[in-house]
Structure 1
Amino acid sequence: MKDIIWIIVVLLVVGWLIGFFAFPAVGGLIHALLVIAVILIIYKVVTGRSV
């Protein structure tokens, strides 16, 4: 259960990279995915869980 956040982060970053290079016209959605991934990483670091 504790690795679910990392799985979500990886999926969001991969989706962001695919979207960034394959569909440059949908920049808003791409940046939203990136922001969500960064928030999840920060949440995991702040809560003190092992990285």
Structure 2
Amino acid sequence: MTMLRYALLFLAVALIAAFFGFSGIAASAAGIAQILFYLFLAVFLVSLLSGLLKGV
């Protein structure tokens, strides 16, 4: 869950930076948030499949 919170945190930083006009910081924070979200999604799917296979 921590990884998802970091992704949401970086998304919030990106939105705030974009609002104030810091486009470079906003783009970097949005990129980091996107990477963390996809990493979280991959770990979640691996855990889900692992749990399903162990239950069989």
Scaled to the shorter chain, the TM-score interval is 0.7 to 0.9
- Give TM-score, length-normalised by structure 2: 0.69
What is the distance in 1 between the residues matched to 2:42 and 2:2? Answer: 16
Q: Give the C-alpha shift of residue 7 in structure 1.
A: 1.1
Deviations 1:29-49 (A, max 9, x none): 110100000001111122225
- Give TM-score, length-normalised by structure 1: 0.74
Higher-Rg structure is 2
What is the distance in 2 between the residues matched to 1:8 and 1:16? Answer: 12
Structure 1 outlier segments of 4+, above 2 Å: none
Q: Give the C-alpha shift of residue 6 in structure 1.
A: 1.2
Q: Who is 1:30 aligned against?
A: 26
Structure 2: gaps of 5 or more residues: 49-56
Q: Who is 2:7 aligned against?
A: 9
| Overall identity of the aligned pairs, in % | 20
Aligned length: 46
Q: Give me the CA root mean square deviation.
A: 1.5
